[in-house]
Amino acid sequence: MSQHKPARGTQINWTHPLARGLAGCWLLNEGTGSRVMDSGPFKQHGDFQGGPPLWKPGRRGHSVEFDGVDECIDCGPIKFGWDRTNEVSVVALASQAASQTAKCVFGRGVYVRPAVLATQTSGKFYWRVRTNVTVTSITSTSTHATDGSEWVHVAGTWKQNDSRLYVNGAEEASNTTLGGTLSLIDTYSGIGGMYDAGYASVFTGRIGYVLIYSRALSPTEIEWLYRQPFVVFEHPVTPAFLLTTGASVPLAGSVQATSTASARLESICDSPKTEQQWRLDALFNGMTANALKLGTTLSLGWFWARVGGCSALYRGPGMEQIDFESILAVADLSACEISPPSYLPHNGNSTCFYVVRRFNHCGYRELTLAAAARVSLDIQGGLVGSQPNRVFASKAEEAHANKVRLIWFYCPLDQESPPARFNIYYDSGAGQIDYENSIGTVSYKGQKFYTFESDALQTGKYLFAIRAQDPAGIENSSLNALPVELAGSGPDVPDILEAEAV
């Protein structure tokens, strides 16, 4: 469960070590509506400001998309216990959809009262903290995608003279000079930006969840939250007694009883459990598309209608981006095939992934990714045919007499079709490889390494490409280019001025 967002209303296990000092917890798992719930002790539920909420699939469930113009979540003006502890930590999961500077993932106050976790150029993040002494910022070192394709776990912590910034569970920046008392004037906290008589530092991209603490988390705790972000919602189940046959059990006063019973532990669930999202859809949201496909609208969400189980189809642009919140189609559990609805777009020159997951007779959905299929379409919109593998490794080097030598390695494991030859292409020095006209071919002989030597070329920079082609003439679509520069004649040979025996 710690890898997937818990159902709405699930309570925090306050005996868990990572629940100590937890002051705010916005899981953003509502999936609908204009308010987000705070599972923390202060119950600072957030309200959307700006345009209508954009609920989108995220890495672990629902997420909220911010347009970078006038959208943020207002989480109220309280101080979350920072005035008592003088320590602070902020943990979030975010995906940047633009290269942006000083855009707020979570912050309190437009002028940092006391902290803000925000973006920096090239997909980086920075952590800024203000005390009664001064304000200081530290910036992460790793770069990340800014087109919405990558989710990043980021966390900032501060206590006296110890400020740290973590990315994906690893520490990337620190500062040991900032002391004093956290600056905590009355102001508002915000997710995805701040709203205080106007919008400021508005984020562009998606945010999966935000956790804040009234203490500085340790590096080990940050790494734990990176691996298991929802572990504080797990409640261990422990029996009242574990007894062996013949054991004496005290009942009341001096009265005792002897244990004579035994039992065998068996699994009663056909598949791994997750939350019964179908029940939440029908109970809270009415006749949703998912509830209609699963038939739970007939029971108003109170009981599971498909007692024989079923299979559901999902889709996404990548295996980490499957939208498990939207069911495309439903089939009987015993069905051998399932088809997506005809209204779904399948654009040419694109790739998407489909996943099938089963619901058992009680409505629990398995968590497997084993039943997955990749669909690749060519530019005309037809299925891409079987292709040989791409060249696994290659290099280009200058040979004698202004020629270029290419060396590459081909691995036939898991190939869709065996190659018959390798086609060699280059750019004639123009910077654009001509894939219509090859400059040579090398026959495939079942060996690992192959080589090709070009004709003599003029000095300059060139790009080469190697593509495997099967006997039917189908060539793989690799766009990997090998750069090489011909320097012509080398440097002049130095004159020997003097030589002596040593």
Average pLDDT value for residue range 114-143:
93
Mean pLDDT over the full length of the chain: 84
CATH class of 17-233: mainly beta
What is the per-residue burial (b if ≥16 Cβ within 10 Å, else e) of 474-499? bbbebeebbebebeeeeeeeeeeeee
Given a cut of 50, is residue 71 above it in pLDDT?
yes
Given a cut of 50, is residue 427 above it in pLDDT?
yes
pLDDT of residue 234: 66
Name the most confidently modeled range: 107-111, 196-200, 270-274, 441-445.
441-445
Q: How confident is the model at residue 267 (pLDDT cuts 50, 70, 90)?
A: very low
pLDDT of residue 318: 81
Report the SS3 class of residue 83: helix
Which own/partner contact pairs does 378-387 have at CB distance under 8 Å and 24+ positions apart?
Answer: 378/348, 378/349, 379/348, 379/349, 380/348, 381/346, 381/347, 381/348, 384/477, 385/472, 385/474, 386/416, 386/417, 386/470, 386/474, 387/416, 387/417, 387/468, 387/470, 387/474, 387/475, 387/476, 387/477
Q: How confident is the model at residue 169 (pLDDT cuts 50, 70, 90)?
A: very high
Kindly list the domain boundaries of the chain, sorted by start residue.
17-233, 277-376, 393-486
Given a cut of 70, is residue 51 above it in pLDDT?
yes
pLDDT of residue 402: 86
Given a cut of 50, is residue 133 above it in pLDDT?
yes
Q: How confident is the model at residue 498 (pLDDT cuts 50, 70, 90)?
A: low
Q: How confident is the model at residue 245 (pLDDT cuts 50, 70, 90)?
A: low
pLDDT in tens, 289-301: 887 888 876 666 6
CATH topology of domain 393-486: Immunoglobulin-like (2.60.40)
Average pLDDT value for residue range 365-385:
81
Given a cut of 90, is residue 311 above it in pLDDT?
yes
Check if 17-233 and 393-486 are the same fold: no
pLDDT of residue 493: 53
Given a cut of 70, is residue 231 above it in pLDDT?
yes
Least Cα distance to 410 among 378, 435, 442, 384 occurs for 442
pTM for the model: 0.53
Given a cut of 90, is residue 444 above it in pLDDT?
yes
Given a cut of 50, is residue 3 above it in pLDDT?
yes
Give the range among 33-42, 303-312, 373-382 with minimum mean pLDDT: 373-382
Q: How confident is the model at residue 366 (pLDDT cuts 50, 70, 90)?
A: confident
pLDDT of residue 272: 43
Strand ranges in 84-203 using DSSP code E only, listed in sequence order: 88-96, 104-108, 115-120, 124-130, 135-139, 152-159, 162-167, 170-175, 189-191, 194-195, 199-200
Average pLDDT value for residue range 60-70:
88
What DSSP line would sit under 10-55, residue for residue? PPP-TTSGGGTTEEEEE-----SSSEE-B-STT---EEEESS--EE
Dist. CA 362–CA 378, nearest whole Å:
41
Q: How confident is the model at residue 400 (pLDDT cuts 50, 70, 90)?
A: confident
Backbone angles phi, psi at 381, to 5 degrees: 95, 5
Give the range among 19-28, 35-44, 86-95, 410-419 with minimum mean pLDDT: 410-419
Name the most confidently modeled range: 148-157, 327-336, 481-490.
148-157
Cβ(391)–Cβ(437) below 8 Å = no
Cβ(199)–Cβ(49) below 8 Å = yes
pLDDT of residue 346: 82
pLDDT of residue 295: 80
pLDDT of residue 239: 45
Given a cut of 50, is residue 216 above it in pLDDT?
yes
* Higher pLDDT, residue 248 or 418: 418
Average pLDDT value for residue range 228-254:
63
Q: How confident is the model at residue 271 (pLDDT cuts 50, 70, 90)?
A: very low
Strands 482-486 and 35-36: unpaired
The percentage of the chain sitting over the pLDDT mark of 70, rounded to a whole number, equals 84
Given a cut of 50, is residue 54 above it in pLDDT?
yes
Strand ranges in 253-350 using DSSP code E only, listed in sequence order: 255-258, 310-316, 329-332
Backbone angles phi, psi at 127, to 5 degrees: -125, 120
